């Protein structure tokens, strides 16, 4: 408010003519119109303001300004040195003027030299501590990672695609600003015209002048509209360009980025890009307008009264130094604030994701979550509080400096008017130009501050854009294949692996294995053994830290990742569906698939029945969580099948399926396996799934400890058997009450059948009590098997009922046949079978007892060594 307030005092002190009464109000309204609510790069002002006045100050201003520009670059300490050396250069000039003539030049140099070096050290330490504080902490919180702020050139390069529009907008802006800036001059002349009683103004009649001015103002308004529209539109396009660039970069990253959570990336894409785009377009417009205002107003003032102008300009350098430090502080603060916003977004996004939201609702952890979120907001508020204090003090300071300047103008200006050195009109123009200058400088500070904010946010955007992926897309040789599906042997050779986020935790410690084309493999191991990690390495989500993976005899890392992934299909543990139709979801990644191919894949994956129940079949739109877990898995399997891959990777792909669906999917997989065209590599816990593979690999403690066929591995003392036994024990815990409660309803039957699957490979108990328990269970199962067979079941192989393979090849094993479990014979038969060694029940025999008309060709076996 300084120009308006002090204008009153100034005008009163030199009031001569009635027309002057209008000046304070006029000054105030013009100042309000030109001032900006936000701060300004006084360094530019200082350069401009100082330039015409004093030859010796021009280099200083330039050097200072250059130092400030260097501050924006990535070398803050060098910039600090530069600033201090600029200050050092400045001190001899000013101090030598003030010194007594008796002072020797050496003494002055020594004094100023030590002052300058102290100043230099102080600035350097300030900047270093600021940088250290603002730099994001590393994961362990120990050592801060240095922040690389982009230089202005890099920042401006983002606006290059809109260069033409921006330049036109800026040219229009200069036209409109120039017109606005002639107003104080015209008013000064008008005041002199009215107070002097002349007949002509600029040699023209008043009416003509007024009409001309109206025309000029209209042109100014048009130019302003044009520049505003063009800048806004350029801003939108620039933001669009930055977002595209950043998103493209995000999509090309390796999965490590996603492991950290998407929230931070999302906030970079949304908030940071916005800040950068704004600072490159509308803020640049504001800045240029303000710069032109300051330049024009300063020059005009200088022409009206150089003495007065120079006197006023003395206040600029301290304000400029303040602006530099404020700007820099703001830039670091913005970077930190944006980081904090990123963390908050990450938390909110994670917690509001459908599965997380269900969990927090079910566990009543809303308060706890709110506290956690509050903590995140708290750190943002802390940073914003610092910003509030910084801007409060800064603006108070610049306001104070401005008031001092206007006071000087009015006091000394009034004096000059009273001495007749300048006219009242001149003083009025000066006063108005001061208001313009003040407003312009405030706007410049605002522009400077937003540019600094842009740099802070830009650093985060560039971090994303520049992030190098370890597994770079588009780099490497194209994997060329002669057949479809391609026959691609895989070999892991002494592969060691740790996740980048946990380099101290080895996951694989020398895995060596072979995958032959057209074969099927099951990778088994305890939870957390690293099975999924093995698949991740083949998919090149990560690269091994040691050893190598060979694909078709060549290092996997030498291929273009996309060309390898084209031949792989992957069904993850937790399949992801996207918003869209079922067909779109199945075709995801295989856009060329026809409707028939989609339908066939859906059929093979066992999706047919539930798709048929959907209102629009394959065209039904689904959200990411609008299907059951088992349905999602089946869609994901269909998605993999429609791809017709060379290698099909299934990671617990049937874990969420019930037995009937699992059986259906397993049959589809078995069919694929039997065709021998596609290599199938399964990660599984369930025996029924594992057994469908020709080869089994057992992963333990980061190594493959056993591999072979099921028959080879299912032997006493094998790691595989103990692994299976441990899992089965954990799963098969039948209780009498539960068994009784099962009845024969479809759902319960399915549950019991699931248990039956597991029991088909159970190691029978050795103690009489446990054997008792097993007998009870098997007898219930027998009842269930009878119950589950529909009366109209055609003569068949028992499809869709029970999945169990012949295990008759097992040496030294024994089995309890279900027919031994007919109530009256149970006890004796078990004993008997134990003595006999291996005996197998074929279902045909079993079911012949149940219903002589049916034939079944599969077996239930209870295996025991």
Ligand X SMILES: Nc1ncnc2c1ncn2[C@@H]1O[C@H](COP(=O)(O)OP(=O)(O)OP(=O)(O)O)[C@@H](O)[C@H]1O
What is the binding site for ligand X (CB under 6 A)? 259, 499, 501-502, 507, 525, 527-533
Shortest reach from residue 468's CB to ligand X, in Å: 19
Shortest reach from residue 259's CB to ligand X, in Å: 4
Between 38 and 535, whose beta carbon lies closer to ligand X? 535
Shortest reach from residue 531's CB to ligand X, in Å: 4
Token pair recorded at residue 368: 């706890």
Token pair recorded at residue 195: 């107070």
Between 535 and 771, whose beta carbon lies closer to ligand X? 535
Token pair recorded at residue 552: 């078709």
Between 723 and 784, whose beta carbon lies closer to ligand X? 723
Token pair recorded at residue 616: 């629009």
Shortest reach from residue 507's CB to ligand X, in Å: 5
Shortest reach from residue 616's CB to ligand X, in Å: 35
Phi, psi of 420 (to 5 degrees): 75, 15
| 69 CB burial (10 A radius; 0-12, 13-18, 19+) | middle
Between 10 and 530, whose beta carbon lies closer to ligand X? 530
> Is residue 758 within 8 Å of 731, Cβ to Cβ?
yes
Shortest reach from residue 499's CB to ligand X, in Å: 3
Shortest reach from residue 707's CB to ligand X, in Å: 16
Phi, psi of 621 (to 5 degrees): -85, 130
DSSP state of 702: T
d(CA 601, CA 641) in angstroms, rounded, equals: 6
Shortest reach from residue 656's CB to ligand X, in Å: 13
The string of DSSP codes covering 60-118 is: HHHHHHHHHHHHTSS-HHHHHHHHHHHHHHHHHHHHHHHS-TTS-HHHHHHHHHHHHHH
Between 231 and 529, whose beta carbon lies closer to ligand X? 529
Q: How many whole angstroms from its chain centre is CA 344?
A: 12
Between 517 and 544, whose beta carbon lies closer to ligand X? 544
d(CA 262, CA 269) in angstroms, rounded, equals: 11
Shortest reach from residue 661's CB to ligand X, in Å: 20
Shortest reach from residue 522's CB to ligand X, in Å: 13
What residues contact residue 837 under an 8 Å CB cut-off, 6+ apart?
A: 812, 813, 814
> Is residue 129 within 8 Å of 144, Cβ to Cβ?
no
Between 440 and 572, whose beta carbon lies closer to ligand X? 572
Q: Which residue is listed with tokens 């000013």?
A: 94
DSSP state of 794: P
Between 295 and 728, whose beta carbon lies closer to ligand X? 728
Closest Cα to residue 317, out of 151, 86, 118, 120? Answer: 86
Between 430 and 682, whose beta carbon lies closer to ligand X? 682
The string of DSSP codes covering 225-277 is: HHHHHHHHHHHHHHHHHHHHHHHHHHHTS-HHHHHT-SHHHHHIIIIIHHHHH
Between 533 and 688, whose beta carbon lies closer to ligand X? 533
Shortest reach from residue 39's CB to ligand X, in Å: 44
Between 206 and 499, whose beta carbon lies closer to ligand X? 499
Shortest reach from residue 538's CB to ligand X, in Å: 12
Shortest reach from residue 264's CB to ligand X, in Å: 16
What residues contact residue 825 under an 8 Å CB cut-off, 6+ apart?
A: none
Beta bridge partners, 569, equal 648
d(CA 114, CA 111) in angstroms, rounded, equals: 5
> Is residue 332 within 8 Å of 136, Cβ to Cβ?
no
Shortest reach from residue 489's CB to ligand X, in Å: 23
d(CA 340, CA 263) in angstroms, rounded, equals: 11
Between 433 and 541, whose beta carbon lies closer to ligand X? 541
How many CA atoms lie within 13 Å of 807's alpha carbon, on the beta-carbon side? 36
Between 164 and 502, whose beta carbon lies closer to ligand X? 502
Shortest reach from residue 528's CB to ligand X, in Å: 4
Between 309 and 692, whose beta carbon lies closer to ligand X? 692
Shortest reach from residue 256's CB to ligand X, in Å: 7
The pairing of beta strand 546-551 with beta strand 490-498: antiparallel
Shortest reach from residue 725's CB to ligand X, in Å: 17
In Å, what is the CA distance from 756 to each residue of 687, 733, 779, 785, 815?
Answer: 11, 12, 11, 10, 14
Q: What b/e readout covers 536-574, taking b as 16+ CB neighbours within 10 angstroms? A: bbbbbbbbbeebbbebbeeebbebbbeebbbbbbbbbee
How many CA atoms lie within 13 Å of 780's alpha carbon, on the beta-carbon side? 25
Between 528 and 768, whose beta carbon lies closer to ligand X? 528
d(CA 265, CA 770) in angstroms, rounded, equals: 55
Between 373 and 499, whose beta carbon lies closer to ligand X? 499
In Å, what is the CA distance from 541 to each residue of 260, 497, 500?
Answer: 14, 12, 11
What residues contact residue 441 under an 8 Å CB cut-off, 6+ apart?
A: 40, 42, 45, 290, 294, 319, 398, 402
d(CA 830, CA 824) in angstroms, rounded, equals: 12
Shortest reach from residue 79's CB to ligand X, in Å: 39
Q: How many whole angstroms from its chain centre is CA 10?
A: 56
Between 376 and 531, whose beta carbon lies closer to ligand X? 531
Between 102 and 527, whose beta carbon lies closer to ligand X? 527
């Amino acid at each position: 408010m300084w120009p308006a307030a002090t204008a009153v005092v100034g005008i009163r002190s030199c009031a001569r003519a009635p027309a002057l009464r209008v000046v304070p109000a006029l000054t105030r309204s013009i100042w309000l119109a030109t001032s900006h609510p936000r701060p300004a790069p006084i360094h530019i002002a200082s350069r401009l303001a100082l330039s015409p006045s004093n030859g010796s100050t021009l280099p200083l201003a330039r050097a200072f300004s250059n130092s400030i520009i260097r501050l924006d670059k990535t070398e803050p300490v060098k910039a600090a040195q530069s600033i201090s050396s600029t200050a050092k250069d400045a001190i001899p000039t000013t101090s030598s003027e003030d010194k007594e003539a008796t002072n020797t030049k050496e003494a002055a140099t020594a004094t100023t030299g030590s002052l300058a070096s102290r100043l230099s050290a102080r600035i350097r330490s300030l900047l270093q501590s600021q940088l250290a504080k603002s730099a994001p902490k590393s994961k362990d919180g120990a050592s801060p990672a240095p922040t690389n702020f982009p230089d202005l050139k890099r920042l401006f390069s983002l606006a290059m695609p809109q260069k033409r529009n921006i330049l036109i907008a800026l040219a229009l802006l200069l036209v409109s600003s120039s017109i606005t800036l002639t107003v104080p001059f015209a008013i000064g002349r008008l005041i002199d015209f009215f107070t002097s009683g002349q007949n002509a103004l600029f040699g023209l009649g008043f009416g003509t002048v007024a009409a001309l001015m109206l025309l000029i103002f209209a042109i100014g308004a048009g130019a302003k509209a044009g520049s505003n529209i063009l800048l806004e539109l350029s801003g939108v396009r620039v933001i669009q360009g930055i977002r595209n660039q950043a998103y493209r970069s995000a999509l090309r990253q390796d999965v490590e980025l996603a492991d950290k959570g998407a929230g931070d990336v999302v906030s970079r894409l949304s908030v940071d890009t916005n800040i950068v785009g704004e600072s490159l377009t509308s803020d640049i417009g504001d800045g240029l307008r303000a710069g032109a205002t300051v330049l024009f107003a300063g020059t005009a003032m200088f022409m009206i009264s150089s003495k007065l102008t120079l006197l006023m300009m003395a206040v600029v350098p301290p304000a400029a130094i303040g602006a530099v430090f404020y700007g820099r502080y703001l830039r670091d603060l913005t970077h930190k604030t944006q980081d904090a916003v990123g963390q908050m977004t990450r938390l909110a996004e994670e917690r509001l994701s459908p599965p997380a939201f269900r969990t927090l609702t079910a566990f009543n952890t809303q308060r706890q979550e709110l506290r956690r979120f509050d903590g995140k907001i708290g750190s943002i508020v802390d940073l914003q509080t610092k910003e509030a204090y910084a801007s409060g003090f800064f603006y108070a300071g610049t306001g104070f400096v401005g008031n001092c300047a206007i006071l000087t103008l009015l006091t000394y200006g009034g004096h000059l008017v009273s001495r007749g050195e300048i006219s009242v009109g001149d003083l009025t123009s000066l006063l108005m130009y001061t208001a313009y200058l003040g407003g312009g400088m405030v706007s410049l500070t605002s522009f400077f501050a937003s540019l600094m904010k842009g740099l802070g946010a830009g650093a985060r955007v560039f971090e994303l854009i520049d992030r190098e992926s370890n597994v770079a897309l588009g780099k490497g040789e194209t994997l060329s294949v002669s057949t479809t599906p391609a026959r691609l042997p895989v070999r892991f050779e002494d592969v060691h692996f740790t996740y980048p986020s946990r380099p101290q935790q080895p996951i694989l410690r020398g895995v060596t294995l072979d995958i032959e084309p057209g074969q099927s493999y099951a990778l088994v191991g305890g939870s957390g053994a690293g099975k999924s990690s093995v698949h991740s390495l083949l998919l090149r989500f990560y690269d091994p830290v040691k050893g190598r993976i060979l694909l078709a005899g060549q290092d996997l890392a030498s291929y273009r990742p996309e060309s390898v992934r084209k031949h792989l299909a992957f069904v993850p543990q937790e399949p992801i569906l996207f918003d869209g139709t079922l067909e779109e979801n199945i075709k995801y990644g295989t856009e060329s698939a026809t409707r028939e191919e989609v339908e066939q894949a859906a059929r093979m994956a066992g999706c047919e029945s539930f798709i048929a129940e959907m209102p629009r079949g394959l065209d039904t739109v689904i959200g990411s969580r609008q299907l059951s877990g088992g349905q999602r898995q089946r869609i994901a399997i269909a998605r993999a099948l429609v791809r017709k891959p060379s290698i099909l990777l299934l990671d617990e792909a049937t874990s969420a399926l019930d037995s009937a669906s699992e059986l259906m999917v397993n049959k589809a997989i078995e069919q694929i396996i039997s065709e021998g065209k596609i290599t199938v590599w399964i990660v599984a816990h369930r025996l029924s799934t594992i057994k469908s593979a020709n080869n089994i690999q057992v992963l333990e403690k980061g190594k493959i400890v056993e591999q072979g066929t099921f028959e080879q591995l299912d032997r006493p003392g094998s790691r595989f058997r103990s692994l299976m036994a441990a899992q089965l024990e954990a799963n098969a815990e039948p209780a009498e009450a539960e068994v009784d409660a099962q009845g024969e309803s479809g759902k319960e039957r399915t549950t019991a059948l699931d248990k039956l699957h597991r029991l088909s490979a159970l190691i029978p108990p050795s103690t009489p009590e446990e054997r008792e328990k097993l007998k009870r269970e098997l007898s219930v199962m027998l009842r269930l098997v009878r119950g589950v067979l529909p009366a109209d079941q055609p003569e068949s192989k028992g499809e869709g009922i029970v999945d169990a393979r012949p295990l008759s090849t097992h040496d030294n094993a024994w089995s309890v046949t279900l027919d031994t479990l007919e109530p009256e014979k149970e006890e004796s038969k078990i004993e008997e079978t134990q003595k006999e060694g291996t005996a197998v029940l074929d279902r045909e025999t079993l079911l012949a007892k149940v219903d002589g008309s049916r034939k079944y060709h599969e077996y239930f076996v209870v295996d025991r060594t």
